[in-house]
């Protein structure tokens, strides 16, 4: 159930804020003692990067070899410069910044980097993110300022993965007394309630202006909205509908930040109806994505036609369509493909009814509403979609036979997740490719993208890959979510970027250490 609740919380979308339009006379603005309270929807499972805390950056407490700006570009953090990669792509070396220290005064050395990555890779540690670092064969620190990664195969996104926070060598992996080298140091944690951080005065780019941060957890969206309007929170992540009441309030800014977090239909490709490309393409034409954005997402979203967000540079502009759908074209396609309307209005071909089951996780109201919209749009073109709201444990064994409303998406590197979702080596394994998609050309493109050290070659590979999965309609993509953040008071330095699926402090608050109260 926890999973279900948290998946529901994911569609909490969001936005941002800050530069408020009026003087902070309305409502309590930034407290004079410099404490800034952020209301978050779900508590962190752990505060150890090794165990999966904010591996893509934005942890505030930790810093990785690299860090990511709001424009998604990588800049060196613990590392002094971008890595050097050997000609065969199998050796990646980082030189560390000089004089960097952890919050407790210990110097940050190559041994700490080695310890961090090896702890992730050690199967005995049960790290949930180990699979993301599977390309790394070993990590060496020949001297305190050098780290060398030896890879099992060339892996272009390694620098993107290097945002993983570095922990001091030998520190326990429980993360209950987290020590890092990031802009904020850990003060206290009340489980189920909040985490208190204070500014790291020795931070390499200078002390953060907001001297004290409180990350308060309130799972219920309405509770969070109430506490936000009561002035208890200075900022909060809210679902679009709960954030609506803050629109236009003086001193409060609502920001809707685009994300790469999509929802779509994952098809079982080995079945008679969903295995027919004509049916899938007709469905992709028929759905009214604009209505989903306007109604289901209350405007906080964008139509999706492929797995790569149009807000990133990797997007193929040819992968697009009519936001409001084109049911007429869909009907024509089905008719030409031999799907003829039967007596009950549902099309039939060779005695097979155009009907399939669409599952969604029962606790996730966003996916439920999307599934309802899909079923109604499908009905209009003569395709019968039966809905089934199930628990994940019931969904998993059925994924190879029934369609599922699923969500993934990362803005960082197109290799992330797409390799697993579309490569034949993951066919019918776990959640990745249960439909059994298997296309040698796509396999080749994904491998090229993963291994090539040439950005132009990678780019072309991913453009071609997007075109193929769009033409084949392997998934029907529905919407990209926008994350909604509400911030009270006027701040300089608030820069919305493109969020990932996970966005607690990785979204708008990623660089809160650069925020400054506006004069």
Partner 1 sequence: MRPAPDTGGTLPAPDRGRPGLGPTAPGTPPGPETGPESGGVKRAAPGTRPPRRPSDGLGRAIARLVAWRAAFAAPLLLAVTAGMFALAKASPFDPVRQYLGDRAVVTDPVVAERIRANWGLDRPVLEQYATWLGNLLRGDLGDSRSLHLPVGQVIAERLPWTLLATSAAIVLMLAGSLVAGTVAARRRGSLLDRLITGGALANEAAPVFWLGLLAISVFSVRLGWLPAGGLTDAASATVEFGDLAAHMVLPVTVLAVSQSSWLVLYVRESVVGVLREDFVTGARARGLRERTVLVRHALRSALLPFLTLLGARIPELVTGAILVETVFSWPGVASASVQAALAVDFPLLAALTLLGTLAVVGGNLLADIAYTIADPRVRTLGVG
Cβ proximity of 200 and 207 under 8 Å? yes
Task: State how far the alpha carbon of 96 is from the alpha carbons of 2, 89, 203, 303, 486, in Å.
Answer: 39, 20, 16, 42, 37
Q: Give the binding range for partner 1 (CB under 8 A) out of 13-21, 91-99, 424-432, 463-471.
A: 424-432
87 lies in the binding site for partner 1 (CB under 8 A)? no
Q: How many DSSP H helices and E strands does the chain contain?
A: 13, 23
Q: Is 3 in the site for partner 1 (CB under 8 A)?
A: yes
Rank residues 2 and 87 by Cβ distance to partner 1 and give the closer one: 2
Q: Binding of partner 1 at residue 467 (CB under 8 A)?
A: no
Choosing from 71, 344, 350, 393, the residue that interacts with partner 1 (CB under 8 A) is 393
Strand 146-151 versus strand 91-95 pairing type:
antiparallel
Of the candidate residues 72, 209, 406, 469, the single one contacting partner 1 (CB under 8 A): 406
In the complex, the smallest distance separating the C-beta of residue 1 from partner 1, rounded to whole angstroms, is: 5
**Footprint on residues 228-257 left by partner 1 (CB under 8 A):** 232-233
Near partner 1 by CB under 8 A: residue from 19, 24, 27, 46: 46
Selected from 21, 23, 31, 295, the binder of partner 1 by CB under 8 A is 31
Q: Which is nearer to partner 1, 7 or 348 (CB)?
A: 7
Tell me how far, at minimum, the Cβ of 155 lies from partner 1, in Å. 15
424 scored as a contact of partner 1 (CB under 8 A): no
Would you list the DSSP string of 163-185?
Answer: TSPP--TT--TT-SS---SSSEE
Rounded-to-integer distance, Cα 289 and Cα 478, Å: 6
Task: Give the residue with the Cβ less far from partner 1, 1 or 519.
Answer: 1
Binding flag, residue 52, partner 1 (CB under 8 A): yes
Q: CA-to-CA distance for 86 and 91, rounded, in angstroms?
A: 5
**Residue ranges in 426-455 that form contacts with partner 1 under rule CB under 8 A:** 429-432
Q: Which residue has the tokens 């909040």?
A: 194
- Sequence-distant (6+) residues with CB within 8 A of 32 are none
Q: Which residue has the tokens 């508590």?
A: 43
Token reading at 136: 């790394």
397 lines the binding site for partner 1 (CB under 8 A): no
Q: Which is nearer to partner 1, 198 or 276 (CB)?
A: 198
Residue 153 in contact with partner 1, rule: CB under 8 A: no
Residue 222 lies near partner 1 (rule: CB under 8 A): no
Residue 419 sits in the site that holds partner 1 (CB under 8 A): no
Q: Which residues share a beta bridge with 214?
A: 37, 196
The DSSP code sequence of 195-261 is EEEEE-TT-TT---SS-EEEEEE--SHHHHHHHHHTTS-SEEEE-HHHHGGGTT-TTEEEEEEEEEE
Closest CB to partner 1 among residues 276, 413 = 413
Contact 101, 90 (CB under 8 A): no
* Binding-site size, partner 1 (CB under 8 A): 53
Which alpha helices (DSSP H) does 396-511 contain, by range?
Answer: 418-422, 440-451, 455-471
Residues 172-201 that bind partner 1 (CB under 8 A): 174-176, 187-188, 190-194, 196
CB 39 within 8 A of CB 236: yes
264's CB contacts (< 8 A; 6+ apart) are 304, 307, 405, 406, 407, 475, 476, 477, 478
Establish if 21 lies at the interface with partner 1 (CB under 8 A): no
Minimum CB separation of residue 228 from partner 1 in Å reads: 11
Q: Tell me the closest approach of the beta carbon of residue 215 to partner 1, in angstroms.
A: 10
Least distance from partner 1 to the Cβ atom of residue 21, Å = 25
In whole angstroms, the minimum distance from the beta carbon of 301 to partner 1 comes to 19
In the bound state with partner 1, the residue whose beta carbon lies nearer, of 276 and 364, is 364
Of 21, 22, 26, 45, the one binding partner 1 (CB under 8 A) is: 45
Q: Give dist(CA 246, CA 226) in Å, integer.
A: 11
Binding status of residue 131 toward partner 1 by CB under 8 A: yes
Rounded-to-integer distance, Cα 316 and Cα 329, Å: 23
User: Residue 429 corresponds to which tokens in the numbers above?
Assistant: 């394994």
33 Cβ contact partners less than 8 Å away, ≥ 6 residues apart: 211, 212
> Residues interacting with partner 1, by CB under 8 A?
1-3, 6-7, 10, 31, 35, 37, 39, 45-46, 48, 51-52, 123-124, 126, 128-131, 134, 174-176, 187-188, 190-194, 196, 212, 214, 216, 227, 232-233, 391-393, 406, 408, 417, 420, 429-432, 501-502
């Amino acid at each position: 159930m926890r999973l279900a609740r948290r998946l529901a919380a994911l569609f909490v979308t969001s936005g941002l804020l800050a530069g408020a339009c009026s003087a902070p006379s309305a409502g309590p603005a930034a407290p004079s003692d410099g404490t800034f309270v952020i209301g978050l929807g779900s508590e962190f499972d752990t505060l150890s990067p090794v165990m999966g805390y904010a591996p893509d950056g934005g942890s505030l407490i930790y810093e990785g070899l690299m860090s990511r700006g709001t424009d998604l570009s990588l800049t060196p953090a613990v590392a002094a410069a971008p890595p050097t990669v050997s000609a065969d792509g199998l050796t990646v070396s980082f030189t560390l910044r000089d004089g960097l220290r952890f919050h407790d005064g210990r110097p940050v050395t190559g041994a700490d980097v080695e310890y961090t990555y090896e702890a992730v890779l050690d199967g005995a540690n049960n790290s949930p993110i180990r699979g993301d670092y599977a390309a790394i064969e070993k990590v060496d620190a020949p001297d305190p300022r050098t780290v060398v990664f030896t890879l099992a195969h060339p892996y272009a996104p390694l620098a993107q993965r290097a945002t993983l926070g570095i922990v001091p060598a030998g520190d326990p992996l429980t993360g209950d007394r987290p020590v890092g080298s990031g802009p904020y140091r850990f003060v206290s944690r009340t489980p189920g309630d909040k985490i208190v951080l204070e500014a790291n005065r020795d931070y390499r780019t200078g002390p953060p202006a907001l001297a004290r941060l409180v990350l308060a957890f309130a799972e219920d969206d309405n509770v969070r909205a109430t506490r936000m309007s009561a002035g208890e929170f200075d900022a909060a992540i809210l679902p679009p509908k709960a954030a609506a009441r803050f629109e236009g309030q003086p001193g409060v800014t609502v920001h809707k930040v685009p994300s790469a977090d999509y929802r779509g239909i994952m098809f079982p490709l080995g079945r008679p109806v969903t295995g027919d490309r004509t049916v899938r393409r007709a469905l992709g034409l028929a759905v009214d994505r604009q209505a989903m954005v306007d109604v289901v997402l209350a405007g906080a979203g964008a139509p999706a036609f492929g797995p790569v967000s149009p807000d990133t540079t990797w997007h193929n502009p040819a992968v697009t369509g009519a936001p409001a759908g084109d049911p007429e074209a869909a009907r024509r396609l089905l008719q030409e493909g031999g799907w003829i309307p039967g007596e009950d209005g549902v099309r039939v071909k060779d005695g097979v009814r155009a009907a399939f089951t669409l599952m969604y996780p029962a606790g996730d109201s966003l996916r439920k509403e999307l599934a309802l919209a899909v079923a109604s749009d499908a009905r209009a073109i003569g395709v019968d979609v039966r809905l089934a709201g199930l628990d994940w444990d019931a969904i998993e064994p059925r994924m190879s036979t029934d369609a599922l409303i699923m969500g993934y998406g990362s803005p960082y590197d197109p290799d992330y997740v797409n390799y697993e979702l579309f490569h034949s080596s993951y066919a019918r394994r776990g959640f990745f490719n249960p439909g059994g998609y298997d296309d040698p050309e796509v396999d080749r493109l994904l491998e090229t993208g993963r291994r090539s050290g040439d950005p132009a070659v990678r780019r072309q590979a991913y453009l071609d890959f997007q075109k193929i999965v769009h033409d084949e309609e392997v998934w029907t993509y529905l919407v990209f979510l926008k994350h909604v953040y509400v911030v009270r008071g006027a701040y300089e330095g608030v820069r919305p970027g493109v969020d990932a699926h996970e966005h607690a402090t990785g979204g708008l608050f990623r660089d809160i250490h650069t925020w400054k109260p506006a004069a």
